Amino acid sequence: MAAPGAPSPVRCVRCGAPGVWHAQANQWGCDHCRDLIGGPPQFPAPYAVAMPPGPFATQPVPKCPRCWGDGTWHAQIGKWGCDRCKSYLDPAVIAGAQASAAASDAGLKVAKFLLWLILLIALIAVKVALRSHR
């Protein structure tokens, strides 16, 4: 069992939320999914994380386009993968998803600016209308 206040060593396989120990069931559970995850914790032996070779070593860790979790380098097959989604990350898909996210961020900023501008104009119009009624 994890110490109080410490991060949970177990994560839900469905939603990725931290696991909570349920003593009556003697299992870990996910309070978000309302599902049991598994038995008592079995901590794996510490292992060295393999880093990607060559040109990949200087690049930032890619994000999964589905869950936006950090990618993991799988040295056995020489590919990036997402441990949460249980899939491999294709570099072309990752680059496309990151580019579309950057483009949508720019559109979001423009939309916010326009909404603030409309709100400001509406407030000025209300103030002018109130002054003309005096």
Per-residue pLDDT of 63-88, as tens digits, reads 777 777 888 887 777 788 888 888 88
Q: What is d(CA 68, CA 119) in angstroms, rounded to the nearest whole number?
A: 33
Q: What is d(CA 62, CA 71) in angstroms, rounded to the nearest whole number?
A: 5
Q: What is d(CA 99, CA 105) in angstroms, rounded to the nearest whole number?
A: 10
Q: Are 12 and 35 in contact (CB under 8 A)?
A: yes
Higher pLDDT pick, 20 / 8? 20
Tell me the Cα Rg of the chain: 24
Where does the pLDDT of residue 129 fall: very low under 50, low under 70, confident under 90, or very high at 90 and above?
Answer: very high
Higher pLDDT pick, 93 / 1? 93
Q: What is the pLDDT of residues 96-127, one digit of tens each?
A: 665 666 666 777 888 899 999 999 999 999 99
Question: How many of the other CB atoms lie within 10 Å of CB of 35?
Answer: 12
pTM of the predicted structure, to 2 decimals = 0.33
Question: How many of the other CB atoms lie within 10 Å of CB of 43?
Answer: 6
Q: What is the pLDDT of residues 25-60, one digit of tens each?
A: 777 888 888 777 776 555 554 444 556 666 666 667
Q: What does each C-alpha distance from 89 to 4, 20, 67, 74, 83 come to in angstroms?
A: 35, 30, 12, 11, 10
Look at residue 86 in the predicted model and tell me its pLDDT: 82
Q: What is d(CA 23, CA 12) in angstroms, rounded to the nearest whole number?
A: 17
**CA-based end-to-end distance of the chain:** 70
Where does the pLDDT of residue 90 fall: very low under 50, low under 70, confident under 90, or very high at 90 and above?
Answer: confident
Look at residue 120 in the predicted model and tell me its pLDDT: 95
Look at residue 76 in the predicted model and tell me its pLDDT: 77
